[in-house]
């Protein structure tokens, strides 16, 4: 599948470019399917983009927001990806509550939460077990260690190929994450990567050859656009 790498000067420029890509993906999806399915990324980088999305005059009743991963905490927790996304974007637009497809983090067993989210995605897209649905747009970040979503180095989640959603793990803490096969099925994947601390990992991820266990973002081989800032791209 295609891969495009763009170098921008800073996080603000990355966010502006990402906003245009979101707008183009929205336009195409609404024209074709009369709905837009977008997967939000966690972490701090996407926040500026989310604040810009909050200014868009979209037909929010036709927009469905999912998350690529979630820390296993309540939405009120400062660590919550859902909480950050709601504060920066979703609380500021007229999107129906039923169009916000949050990852459950209340079951005592994270594996139950992963199953619930997978079933929810299957029901939403009307696909059977074993089929992989296609999101219109998946937003991703990348950590200094080359992880994306909650696909962290040397974890079992990297090897899960027969599920849409699984349990990830960071420093012994559970996370819920979309799997690489589900992410790769997306019509378009946009990575937002900035900061010198990510330069080493980014070079390894974009290199022709490398170890996916060491740099899990290498698992993402779908139709991908990398938006990198100058300091992250050596
Ligand atoms: C998360 C994210 C994670 C994030 C990267 C980059 O839950 O933390 O999904 O994959 O995108 O860690 O995070 P920053 O944008 O904060 O650098």
Q: What is the pLDDT of residues 48-62, one digit of tens each?
A: 999 999 999 999 999
155 lines ligand 1 (CB under 6 A): no
Q: What is the mean pLDDT of residues 75-80?
A: 97
Q: What is the mean pLDDT of residues 15-36?
A: 98
Is the pLDDT score of 145 beyond 90?
yes
Cα(207) to centroid(ligand 1), Å: 21
pLDDT above 90: percentage of residues in the chain: 97
Is the pLDDT score of 233 beyond 90?
no
Protein residue with its CA nearest to atom 12 in ligand 1? 143
Against a cut of 0.95, is the pTM above it? yes
Q: What is the pLDDT of residue 14?
A: 97
Cβ distance 121 to 181 under 8 Å? no
- Ligand 1 atom with the shortest distance to the CA of 68: 9
Q: What is the mean pLDDT of residues 189-193?
A: 98
Q: What is the pLDDT of residue 78?
A: 97
Cβ distance 205 to 146 under 8 Å? yes
**Residue to substitute in 142, 144, 173, 194 for testing ligand 1 pocket (most ligand atoms within 8 angstroms of CB):** 142
CA dihedral 193, 63, 121, 132 (to 10 degrees): -70
Mean pLDDT of all residues belonging to the chain: 97
Q: Give the start-to-end residue ranges of the domains of the chain.
A: 3-218
69 lines ligand 1 (CB under 6 A): yes
Split at pLDDT 50, 70, 90, the class of 89 is very high
pLDDT above 70: percentage of residues in the chain: 100
Each residue's pLDDT tens digit, 91-120: 999 999 999 999 999 999 999 999 999 999
As beta bridge partners, residue 178 has: 165
Q: What is the pLDDT of residue 234?
A: 65
**3-218: CATH topology:** Rossmann fold (3.40.50)
CA pair distance 219, 162, nearest whole angstrom: 15
Is the pLDDT score of 133 beyond 70?
yes
150 half-sphere exposure, CB direction, 13 A CA radius: 27
Cα(128) to centroid(ligand 1), Å: 30
CA pair distance 103, 96, nearest whole angstrom: 17
Where would I find the beta strands (DSSP E) of 16-141? Answer: 36-40, 63-67, 69-71, 137-141
146 lines ligand 1 (CB under 6 A): no
Is the pLDDT score of 1 beyond 80?
no
Cβ distance 37 to 126 under 8 Å? no
């Amino acid at each position: 599948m295609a891969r495009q790498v763009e170098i921008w000067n800073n996080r603000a420029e990355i966010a502006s470019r990402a906003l245009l890509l979101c707008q183009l993906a929205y336009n195409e999806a609404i024209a074709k399917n009369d709905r837009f399915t977008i997967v939000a990324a966690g972490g701090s980088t996407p926040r500026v983009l989310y604040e810009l999305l909050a200014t868009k005059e979209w037909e929010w009743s036709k927009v469905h927001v999912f998350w690529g991963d979630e820390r296993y905490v309540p939405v009120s927790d400062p660590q919550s990806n859902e909480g950050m996304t709601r504060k920066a974007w979703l609380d500021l637009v007229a999107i129906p509550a039923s169009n916000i497809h949050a990852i459950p983090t209340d079951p005592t067993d994270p594996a139950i939460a992963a199953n619930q989210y997978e079933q929810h995605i299957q029901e939403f897209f009307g696909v059977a077990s074993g089929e992989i649905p296609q999101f219109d747009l998946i937003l991703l970040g990348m950590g200094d260690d080359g992880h994306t979503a909650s696909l962290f180095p040397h974890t079992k989640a990297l090897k899960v190929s027969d599920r849409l959603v699984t349990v990830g793990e960071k420093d012994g803490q559970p996370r819920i994450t979309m799997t690489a096969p589900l992410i790769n099925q997306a019509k378009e994947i946009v990575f937002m990567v900035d900061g010198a601390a990510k330069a080493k990992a980014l070079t390894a991820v974009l290199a022709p050859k490398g170890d996916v266990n060491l740099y899990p973002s290498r698992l993402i081989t779908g139709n991908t656009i990398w938006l990198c800032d100058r300091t992250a791209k050596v």
